[in-house]
């Protein structure tokens, strides 16, 4: 026990002289260690600490230690790859190159750990010795490309893509959840990784995961962010579709094989000879396609309104005000400064901001409710709510900017704001009136058609009698 303790202490310090002395005292100490050690060997420890000379000596005495695994089934090469100790890796590979393929308790080989940690030079060395290591998968079905994207290692991903001549199946391989590397990049909003993968033209942008979701479906279900629009545009430019759109395309027969790109005439653009009437979507179809954009805008407005409510123009009092004769403070910490300095404007600000917040939340609720927005009544209602949201947001901005503007500039600013509010409200009223009249006209036409049909039916019945 005493000699083993000294051996482990020497491994921690990288003390080559002590190792030599111990080997002179007991030449079989390393061989016995293989039989009795069930955790880290001195090789594991020396590798972890980066002691190159110690590793060389211990492997020269007993090369079998290179294949020994610790309690997590990790070899010394696993540790060296994760740490990035390139010199130690080269020594280990000379002794036992097949250890590149060894898998730890999570199914990860040394190449996987190097990819997770972003060790570019280590990856080049491992691939050169054993290219097959890149084909290994973890217990979750992840290959080395999955791990690069999952841990946001774009540079490593680029190196792997440039080093190997990977086939289509490998690049579009799925993990146990059915996620490809593009699914993972979209879910984590890695815009640079997404652009790089799409540029390769080897990634299936419409591959579905185990739940039947494409990359655009995953984007729609993920947390809302400013880069959602950019990611969505990149995916659509690459031919990305929602799962429901793919199913609809499968149902549409292709009757015109001679048209460009084998598109049905009904789905072709007008400039390619498609049906113009069918290429102009209805407003309900337009809303279905723009649902994600409207959801992002409504979410941003709700966030802005919430932030403005919690931190109004001028901020909040940081401490209690002075007490009056009755022991009541002039103001309390956390209350809006604007409510005391501009009480009238604060009331208008509070009303406008609250309306913007509630109406934006109403928009979000309507969009996720599953209501049939192809019906004009629902479209009209959503349009009114969005107008109200945008209008009250503009009013909130006008009041805020007026409050924080110095008095010397407040008069001209006030005039500009008044003119802007009048023009804006007039425009909104005009649009609302126009759409309301159009809705009434459509309703009147439908009613007239029903009456005409009833009259014709009655006339036909009289003739038959």
- Give pLDDT tens digits for 147-177: 999 999 999 999 999 887 788 899 999 999 9
Residue 328, CB half-sphere, CA atoms under 13 Å: how many?
2
3-state DSSP helix/strand/coil % of the chain, to nearest 5? 70, 0, 30
pLDDT of residue 263: 38
Query: Mean pLDDT highest for which of 4-8, 250-254, 259-263?
Result: 4-8
Q: Which helix (H) or strand (E) holds 441?
A: helix 407-464
Q: What is the CATH number of domain 1-163?
A: 1.25.40.20
**pLDDT tens sequence across 290-339:** 666 777 888 888 888 888 888 888 888 888 877 777 777 777 888 888 88
* Residue 38: band (very low, low, confident or very high) from pLDDT cuts 50, 70, 90: low
Indicate whether 240 pLDDT > 70. yes
28 vs 435: which has the higher pLDDT? 28
| Spatial separation of the C-alpha atoms in residues 218 and 179, rounded to whole Å | 10
pLDDT (average), residues 198-206: 91
User: What pTM was computed for the model?
Assistant: 0.57
**pLDDT tens sequence across 62-78:** 999 999 998 889 999 99
| Spatial separation of the C-alpha atoms in residues 157 and 196, rounded to whole Å | 10
Question: In the chain, where are the structural domains located?
Answer: 1-163, 167-241, 284-317+332-455
Tell me the longest C-alpha to C-alpha distance in the chain: 124
The whole-chain average pLDDT of the chain stands at 82
Task: Please state which architecture CATH assigns to domain 167-241.
Answer: Alpha Horseshoe (1.25)
* Residue 249: band (very low, low, confident or very high) from pLDDT cuts 50, 70, 90: low
The answer to whether the 1-163 and 167-241 domains have the same CATH topology is yes
* Residue 456: band (very low, low, confident or very high) from pLDDT cuts 50, 70, 90: confident
**pLDDT tens sequence across 257-302:** 333 333 343 333 333 334 434 444 444 455 555 666 777 888 888 8
Q: How far is CA 168 from CA 174, 200, 332, in A?
A: 12, 11, 65
pLDDT of residue 421: 73
């Amino acid at each position: 026990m005493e000699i083993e303790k000294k051996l482990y202490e020497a491994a921690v310090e990288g003390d080559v002289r002590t190792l030599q002395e111990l080997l002179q005292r007991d030449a079989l100490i390393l061989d016995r260690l293989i039989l009795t050690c069930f955790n880290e060997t001195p090789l594991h420890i020396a590798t972890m600490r980066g002691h190159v000379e110690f590793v060389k000596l211990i492997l020269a005495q007993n090369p079998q230690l290179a294949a020994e695994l610790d309690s997590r089934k990790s070899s010394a090469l696993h540790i060296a790859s994760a740490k990035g100790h390139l010199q130690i890796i080269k020594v280990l590979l000379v002794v036992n190159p097949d250890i590149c393929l060894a898998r730890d308790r999570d199914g990860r080989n040394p190449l996987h750990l190097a990819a997770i940690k972003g060790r570019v030079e280590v990856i080049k060395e491992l691939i050169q010795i054993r290219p097959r290591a890149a084909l290994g998968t973890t217990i979750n079905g992840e290959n080395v490309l999955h791990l690069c994207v999952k841990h946001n290692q774009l540079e490593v991903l680029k190196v792997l893509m440039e080093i190997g001549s990977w086939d289509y199946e490998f690049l579009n391989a799925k993990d146990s959840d059915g996620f490809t590397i593009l699914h993972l990049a979209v879910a984590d909003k890695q815009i640079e990784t997404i652009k790089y993968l799409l540029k390769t033209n080897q990634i299936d942008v419409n591959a579905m995961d185990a739940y039947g979701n494409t990359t655009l479906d995953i984007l729609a279900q993920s947390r809302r962010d400013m880069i959602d629009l950019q990611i969505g545009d990149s995916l659509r430019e690459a031919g990305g579709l929602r799962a429901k759109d793919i199913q609809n395309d499968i149902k549409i027969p292709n009757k015109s094989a001679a048209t460009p790109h084998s598109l049905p005439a009904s789905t072709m653009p007008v400039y390619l000879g498609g049906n113009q009437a069918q290429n102009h979507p209805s407003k309900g179809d337009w809303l279905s396609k723009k649902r994600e954009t409207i959801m992002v805008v409504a979410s941003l407005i709700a966030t802005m309104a919430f932030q403005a409510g919690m931190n109004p123009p001028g901020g909040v009092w940081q401490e209690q005000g002075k007490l009056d004769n009755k022991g009541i403070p002039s103001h309390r910490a956390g209350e809006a400064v604007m409510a005391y300095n501009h009480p009238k404007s604060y009331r208008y600000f509070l009303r406008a901001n609250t309306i913007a917040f509630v109406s934006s939340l109403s928009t979000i609720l309507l969009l996720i409710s599953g209501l049939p927005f192809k019906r004009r009544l629902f479209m009209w209602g959503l349009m009114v709510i969005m107008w109200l949201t945008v209008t009250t947001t503009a009013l909130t901005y006008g009041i805020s900017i007026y409050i924080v503007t110095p008095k010397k500039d407040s008069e001209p600013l006030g005039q500009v704001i008044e003119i802007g509010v009048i023009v804006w409200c007039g425009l909104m009223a005009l649009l609302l009136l126009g759409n309301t009249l159009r809705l009434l006209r459509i309703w009147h036409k439908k009613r007239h058609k029903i009456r005409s049909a009833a009259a014709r039916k009655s006339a036909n019945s009289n003739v038959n009698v």
